[in-house]
Every structure is written in structure tokens, then in C-alpha cells.
Amino acid sequence: MDNFPIIRVITKLLMPYILLFAFYVQFHGDFGPGGGFQAGVILAAGLILYGLVFGLPALQKVAPPRVIEWLIALGVLVYAGTGIATMLLGGKFLDYEALKHHVLPGWLPEGQHLGIFLVELGVGITVTSVMTVIFYCFAGREPVDGH
Amino acid sequence: MIEQHLPVLIVVVPLIAAPLCVFLFNRTLVYLFALATCWATFGMSLFLLAKVLESGPFSYELGNWPVPYGIEYVVDYFSAFVMSFVSGIGAVVLTYAPKSLNDEIDPSRHYLVHPMYLLCLTGMLGICITGDLFNVFVFLEISSLSSYALISLGRSRRAPLAAFQYLVMGTIGATFLLIGIGLLYQLTGTLNMVDMAQQLADDHGSRTMLVAFAFVTVGLCIKMAVFPLHTWLPNAYTYAPSVVTAFIAATATKVSVYAFVRIVYDIFTPQFAFDVHGLDLFLTVFSLIGIFVASAAAIYQGNLKRLLAYSSIAQVGYMLLGVSMNNQDGLTGGIVHMFNHAIIKGGLFLVVGCFALRLHSVRLEDLRGAAKTMPLTAFAWVLGGLGLIGVPLTAGFISKWLLLTAALDNGFYLVAGLMLISSLLAVVYVWRVVEILYFSEPADAVESAREAPWSMLIPTYLLIVGILVFGIWTSYSVGVASQAASALLGGAP
């Protein structure tokens, strides 16, 4: 891609907006269309675009495969951990009502809002990492002998 | 406090343990953690079973959303029974696993095995416990996807191809199931099984319902490996690592049978499925053809794992024979056979794993005379084989006897006769291996082999002795299964 300065420049210009849009879809998902899955895919699309244009090593410097693997697990833990937290707080599994609190009311999300926020965050983390790992698997394949 | 949450914890504990395994750096630590999780899950399932037997079915509402809006987890006789043996097999097989895994899987991939194994267990337990039809699909995908990954870890280069074949067939099956569920959802506007069954009762026999029924049946038949949709199974079982084969062969098809029985009996009702649309005839015919074709194929296999794989297809036929009879005895027989076959086939595949560890081959010609150097392993094969044939005093006899009496009581003399003949085929393929193990001159590799290590023999014998125990003491297996069958036949669960 070294021979295509336009693509490189445009990608660099677009990158912050793609990432920002991903975070918008993620964190505005509880008020409008969006959510963890969509946001994760958009974020991963940003990463994959970066990898396509600047090469796999550059992307792996930004998102090391080992870290991405951990993030896959972390997302699931955030989701299931939310459920465990609600159980520890006296509710049922994923009963967000148990997440009611009185810290900074009106500023911090609470109850159902906080619950869905955390769960979607977990989904977002895992989807981003899984999409990136799929890209790594395809892009990182060694060529078959003799071809 | 924990007690009230057990129905969800039995799914959530392995689900959380799986990603935690990724964060543990030490391989031994990961294994011990996964092992503890499996035994804890088994403990929870026994506790749930005891609770159901004591005070009847109960349910748990996820997120405190009332039924039918939220997801409900139902613990009743059938689900508690299936969960208990699925998690039990999961725990025993993992106890057996470390030496075999070290031998058969590249060490760099070890950290993937345990999370996948736990996810597979999560999926199967989830299918059993959930009362929500869409949840069944989700958990089916969790268990299937992780089993594809596990199968592809096999040592042979054909393992990824076998996993891919299974993936293609399994995905078609899951898609069909999803289409069926979608149609049912469109028809009833609910995903809760009990609620859906009530809504469908008012809407008897619309075209949509029939199409949904067809999709769900075909989809699950692929997952159950019913003849002629069984083609994915032999390769998947043959090329997977021994531990994975033992776990999946003992549990996955049974859980699919569970889902099938649940959906046919509880949602579509036997009247609709059997009386109106004649599914019982189709099931009986395909089960019998499957039993004969697969048993005959098993006789000609040169690979021990493939032999057992074909025998699994035949055994699924027996389960479905019981299911298709649509009466108390037959259904009890089918359900008991799920349990009995799980311990028999699990035990036999563990035996195969012992041979694979010491002889590095499971081809029959490489096992010649193995009884001389590996007497305990070979004897375990004999006991397991007797169970597979259905010799009295083994678990296999109990379920076949129940199926046989059910067939005779209801006048299915042809079915009963064919069942007896098919057991003779099992004698042939089990005896063929016994003959090679005991009455052949040992091959060179066999001469220098040692007996399998105790860490593998003890779990193997745990299941093998289980075959004998449950062949004599049937109050647990047959008792619970008949309660499950009468609940299924008694209309709403």
C-alpha cells in the first residue's frame, strides 16, 4: 500500500471518526439505535481498515494478538460478572434492579440503565476482539508451500 | 442464598470459568481450575436432581422478568436427569484427560482446550435447563461451535476437515432449527415453551405450524445423527482427540435427543406429531434402518474409534425407537437408554484413549494381543462391550429390555424381532475386537507397551463399573426416567 498515498492519507483522516462513531453507537445504544454488537463490529472495522492499509505488523502493534485474546475473555467476564454482581446484591441473575445506588444521582447510570450499560460493554469488547482475531487468522496465514 | 440461584449457577459457573482459564498462565493451574469447575457443576446437578425428586419441578426467572416475557430456567425430572449425567461424564472425562491431552494435542494449544471444553459443557447444560425456545438454539450453537473447535485439535491432518464437515452439517441443522423457531415465534408471539404450547393448542394444524415442525425435526435429526443424516459423525469422532471424542460421543447426541423429545412432546404435542402427521412411523423406520446399517458398517471398520462411532449411530436409533412409541414404557426405555448409552459409550471411548496413549494407534491390526500387555484396559473393553450388546446385569440390558417389553406390549412384534437381531450385530463387532485383543499374537509395538497409567484407568473404570452398577441398581436410572416420561406424557410439564 506504500504506493497509494491517497488511500493512506484518507484512512488516517477517517480513522478517528470511525472509532468515535463506534463509541457513539456503543454508549448511545441505550438511548437510540445501536448497542454492543454493532459498535464492536464498527470498531473492529476501523482496526481492520488500518491493518489493510498499513499492514498486519502495524495493526498488531496497536492491538497485540495476545491482548486481543484476553479481551475476548474479558468481555464475557464483564457480562457474566454483571449477572453475578446482581446475585450478590440480592437480586436474581442479571436482575438490574439490584444495581440501584445513590451515588451522584442523575450523573451516574443506575439500575436497569447501569445493567444494560455494563452488559453491552462486555458484548462490545468481545465482538471487537473476535472480529479482529478473525482478521488475524485470515491475514496471518502463511502461504502454502510452493505457491 | 446460593441454593435459590443454583438453576442459573449450573450454567453460569462453567460459562465464567471458561474465560477465566484464558487468564491463568500456568497450564496445571488451568487444568485444576477447569477440573474443579466440572466437579462443582456435577455437584450442583446432583443437588438439583435431589431437590426435584424431593419437592417436584421448579423454575428460575432470569433478571426477575416474569414468565412469559423473560427467560425461564426449568428444573424438572427430565432436565435434572439429563444434566446430572452430562455433567457427571464431563467431570469424569476431564479427570482422565491430562495425560491423553499431553500426548495428542500440541502443547501450544492446550490453553484453548479447557475453555472450549467448559463452553461445550455450558451449552449442553443450557439446552437441558432452559424453558425458552430461542435459548435452546443459542446454547446449541455454544456447544456446537466449541465442539467443532475441539474436534479440529486432533493430531491427524484430517481432523480439521472432519470438523469442517461437522460444521457444515451442524450449521445446516442449527439453521433449520432456527427457521422452525422463527416460524413458531411468528405464529405464537412467544418463545417460552409452556406458553408456546398453550398458544399452539388453540391453533391446531395450521400450515405454518407444520412447516415449523418439519424444519425443527430435520434440524434436530442432523444434530442427533439419525440415519440418513449421520454422515458427519464417523469422521468427527474418529479424528478428534480421544478425550474430546469420549466427552462429545457420550453427551452431545443425547442432549440433541433431549431437545427433540422436549420440543415434540412439550410444544408440538404427541397428538400433532405422531397421530396427525405420522412422525412415529418415520422415526421407527429410520431408526431401524439406522440400527442395521450402522451396526453392519461398524462390523467392517478397521479403526476402533470409527467402529464405536458407527455403533453410536445405531444406539441413537434405539433411543428414538423408544421415543417414537409414544407410551410410558417406550419413552422410559428411550430416556434410560440415553443415560445408559452415555456411560457405556463414554467408558468405551476412554478405553480407546488408553490404547491410543500406549500404542499410538487405534487401528485394529495394531491392537493385536494387547490384552497381554494391557490386561486392565482390555478387560474394561470386554465389560463395556457387554454393556453395549445388552447382556443381563449390565446397564445396556435394562434399557433394551424396557424397549423390548414396550414393543411387545404394544404389539410391535416386527420391531421387537428386529431389535433382537440387531443386538446380534453388536455381538459381532464387540467380539471382533475382543478376539483381536485376547487371541492374536501381539504385534511388536504391543509387546513393548505398558499398562495405561492409573490416572486414566481409574476414571475409565469409574464409568465401566457404573455400567454394572446401573445394570443392577435401577432405582435411580429407571426410576427418574419413568417419572420424566410420565411428566412428558401428562401434557404440560
The model's pLDDT over B84-118, given as tens digits with 9 standing for 90+, comes to 999 999 999 999 988 888 888 887 778 789 999 99
- What's the pLDDT band for B237 if we cut at 50, 70, 90? very high
C-alpha to C-alpha distance for B393 and B406, rounded to whole angstroms: 19
Q: How far is B221 from chain A (nearest CA, A)?
A: 30
Give A80's contacts in chain B (Cβ within 8 Å).
12, 15-16, 19
Q: What percent of chain B has pLDDT over 90?
A: 54
Confirm whether A23 is domain-assigned: yes
* B62 in contact with A, Cβ within 8 Å: yes
- What's the pLDDT band for A146 if we cut at 50, 70, 90? very low
What is the average per-residue pLDDT within B257-262? 94
Residues whose CB falls within 8 Å of the CB of residue B305, separated by 6 or more in sequence, listed in order = B237, B238, B242, B245, B349, B352, B362
pLDDT of residue B350: 94
* B376 in contact with A, Cβ within 8 Å: no
Cis peptide before B270 (omega within 30 of 0): no
Q: Bridge partners of B75?
A: B58
Task: Let me know if B454 is exposed, middle or buried by CB neighbors in 10 A (0-12, 13-18, 19+).
Answer: exposed
Give B60's contacts in chain A (Cβ within 8 Å).
92-93
DSSP calls for A64-110 = -HHHHHHHHHHHHHHHHHHHHHHHHTTS-TT-GGGG---SSTTTS--
ipTM above 0.85, yes or no: yes
pLDDT of residue B173: 94
Confirm whether B339 is domain-assigned: yes
Chain A with chain B: Cβ pairs closer than 8 A: 50
**Mean pLDDT, chain B, integer:** 90
Confirm whether B196 is domain-assigned: no
Confirm whether B109 is domain-assigned: no
Tell the residue number behind the cell numbers 409452556, with chain if given: B194
Partner-chain contact A73 B64, CB within 8 Å: no
* B55 in contact with A, Cβ within 8 Å: no
Confirm whether A44 is domain-assigned: yes
CA dist list (Å): A29 to A24, A34, A75, A120 = 8, 4, 17, 8
Residues in chain A: 147
Interface test mutation site (partner A, options B9, B16, B21, B59, max chain A beta carbons within 10 A)? B16
B401 in helix, strand or coil?
A: helix
Confirm whether B397 is domain-assigned: yes
Tell the residue number behind the cell numbers 472450549, with chain if given: B116
In contact, A125 and A27? CB cutoff 8 Å: no
Confirm whether B208 is domain-assigned: no
Confirm whether B379 is domain-assigned: yes
User: Searching chain A, which residue's CA lies closest to the CA of residue B1?
Assistant: A90
Confirm whether A120 is domain-assigned: yes
- Domain range spanning residue B410? 318-493
What is the average per-residue pLDDT within B139-162? 91
Partner-chain contact B19 A95, CB within 8 Å: no
User: In this predicted model, which residue has the larger pLDDT, B439 or B2?
Assistant: B439
Tell the residue number behind the cell numbers 434410560, with chain if given: B336
B192 in helix, strand or coil?
A: strand
- Domain range spanning residue A9? 5-139
pLDDT of residue B493: 40
Count of domains forming chain A:
1
One-letter amino acid for residue B4 of the chain: Q
Q: Is the pLDDT of residue B213 over 50?
A: yes
In contact, B77 and B83? CB cutoff 8 Å: no
pLDDT of residue A111: 80
Confirm whether A144 is domain-assigned: no
Q: Is the pTM value of this prediction over 0.90?
A: yes
Q: Is the pLDDT of residue B200 over 90?
A: no
List the grid coordinates of B192: 417460552
Confirm whether A145 is domain-assigned: no
pLDDT of residue B184: 92
Confirm whether A80 is domain-assigned: yes
What is the average per-residue pLDDT within B276-298? 90
Q: Is the pLDDT of residue B119 over 90?
A: yes
Q: Is the pLDDT of residue B50 over 60?
A: yes
Residues whose CB falls within 8 Å of the CB of residue B161, separated by 6 or more in sequence, listed in order = B235, B239
Closest Cβ opposite residue B22 in set A73, A93, A95: A73
Count of domains forming chain B:
1
Confirm whether B363 is domain-assigned: yes
Q: What percent of chain A has pLDDT over 90?
A: 49
What is the average per-residue pLDDT within B173-201? 91
pLDDT of residue A143: 60
User: Searching chain B, which residue's CA lies closest to the CA of residue A74?
Assistant: B19
DSSP calls for B77-138 = HHHHHHHHHHHHHHHHHHHHHHHHHHHHS-GGGHHHHHHHHHHHHHHHHHHHHB-BHHHHHH
- Select, from the ranges B110-114, B117-121, B270-274, the one with the highest average predicted confidence (pLDDT): B117-121
Confirm whether A33 is domain-assigned: yes
In contact, B108 and B124? CB cutoff 8 Å: no
- The 10s digit of each residue's pLDDT in B214-226 is 999 999 999 999 9
- 10 Å Cβ neighbour count for A96? 23
Q: Is the pLDDT of residue B413 over 50?
A: yes
C-alpha to C-alpha distance for B275 and B264, rounded to whole angstroms: 12
- What's the pLDDT band for B490 if we cut at 50, 70, 90? confident
* B360 in contact with A, Cβ within 8 Å: no
User: Residue B382 phi/psi, 5° resolution?
Assistant: -60, -50
pLDDT of residue B307: 93
Q: Bridge partners of B73?
A: B60, B130
- The 10s digit of each residue's pLDDT in A47-105 is 999 999 998 889 989 899 889 989 999 999 999 999 998 888 888 888 888 888 877 77
What is the average per-residue pLDDT within B410-414? 85
Confirm whether A102 is domain-assigned: yes
* B109 in contact with A, Cβ within 8 Å: no
pLDDT of residue B449: 82
Q: Is the pLDDT of residue A2 over 70?
A: no
pLDDT of residue B492: 41
Q: Bridge partners of B61?
A: B72
pLDDT of residue B137: 94
